[in-house]
């Protein structure tokens, strides 16, 4: 390839990367509920729509909903208590809590917009206050807009990688690798922020936040010496989370 063609490729590649950075900067806003600056490309109504559309498929992947209305009402009761006693009630999000039939996978997760899930495998090991810790954590993910932020970050790194590949070939792989590591690191940061918010919501709702530490111990025991449960797959080590949770408990008890 002649020198002129290389110049054109580099110019096009740089233009694509510059566009990605410009789009990221122009879509940066402060989260009104956490005060954290975030790169977001969708509004809350779009988040709600994505969550509602994805919820049936996510439930199906875990064997559907657990067939016991009494237990589902119990999960709802704990979840809505957390919402009503926290800043969650002031958000536009439509919180719904789903008990999944999966009795093998220890997991809980939230979709954008307020759809929160917990598997029966995890649920059956928890008392009410520990359940509140798990659901408070998932509410924290929604309010923290973590899914929307990761979607936007993925779009940014995908565009930046394309630009680097066009401009300099193999460098695109390097940029892509940086993006993967950044998303993983950000994901772990999301977990710590959700733990922190979960502690706050528990205290505001009259639950003992120390029960969240017991949840971490349950997750650690479930992992065993070698196996990592799905709940922990992109999460910080439970011991690190316990230390941070203790810090959050001390912080909020000093404020409230």
**Per-residue pLDDT, 97:** 98
pLDDT of residue 61: 93
Our CA dihedral for 139, 144, 148, 154, rounded to 10 degrees, sits at: -120
The pLDDT score that the predictor gives to residue 19 is 44
**What are the 10-residue block averages of pLDDT along the chain, 256 residues in total?**
50 46 61 85 88 93 96 98 97 97 93 95 97 97 88 56 46 39 54 95 97 91 60 62 94 84
Q: What pTM did the predictor assign? A: 0.76
Closest CA to 36 of 110, 129, 144, 115: 144
So what's the pLDDT on residue 162? 52
**Separation between Cα atoms, residue 159 and residue 22, nearest integer Å:** 12
Antiparallel, parallel or unpaired: β 96-100 and 37-39: unpaired
Structure confidence at residue 176 (pLDDT): 38
Tell me, what's the pLDDT at 6?
A: 46
> Which residue in the block uniquely carries the two structure tokens 């479930």?
222
d(CA 43, CA 46): 5
HSE-up of 233 (CA within 13 Å, CB side)?
Answer: 8
């Amino acid at each position: 390839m002649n020198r002129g063609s290389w110049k054109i490729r580099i110019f096009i590649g740089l233009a694509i990367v510059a566009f990605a950075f410009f789009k990221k900067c122009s879509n940066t806003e402060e989260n009104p509920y956490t005060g954290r600056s975030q790169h977001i490309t969708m509004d809350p109504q779009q988040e709600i729509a994505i969550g509602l559309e994805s919820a049936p498929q996510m439930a199906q992947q875990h064997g559907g909903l657990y067939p016991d209305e009494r237990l589902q009402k119990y999960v709802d009761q704990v979840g809505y208590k957390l919402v009503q006693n926290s800043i969650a009630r002031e958000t536009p999000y439509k919180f719904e809590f789903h008990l999944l039939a999966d009795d093998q996978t220890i997991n809980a997760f939230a979709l954008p917009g307020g759809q929160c899930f917990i598997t029966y495998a995890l649920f059956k090991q928890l008392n009410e206050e520990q359940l509140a810790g798990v659901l408070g954590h998932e509410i924290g993910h929604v309010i923290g807009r973590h899914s929307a932020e990761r979607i936007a970050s993925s779009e940014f790194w995908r565009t930046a990688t394309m630009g680097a590949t066009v401009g300099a070939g193999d460098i695109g792989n390097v940029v892509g690798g940086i993006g993967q590591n950044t998303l993983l690191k950000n994901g772990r940061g999301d977990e710590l922020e959700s733990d922190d918010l979960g502690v706050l919501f528990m205290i505001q709702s009259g639950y003992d936040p120390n029960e969240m530490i017991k949840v971490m111990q349950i997750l650690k025991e479930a992992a065993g010496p070698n196996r990592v449960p799905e709940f922990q797959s992109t999460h910080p080590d439970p011991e690190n989370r316990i230390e941070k949770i203790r810090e959050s408990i001390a912080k909020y008890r000093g404020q409230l």
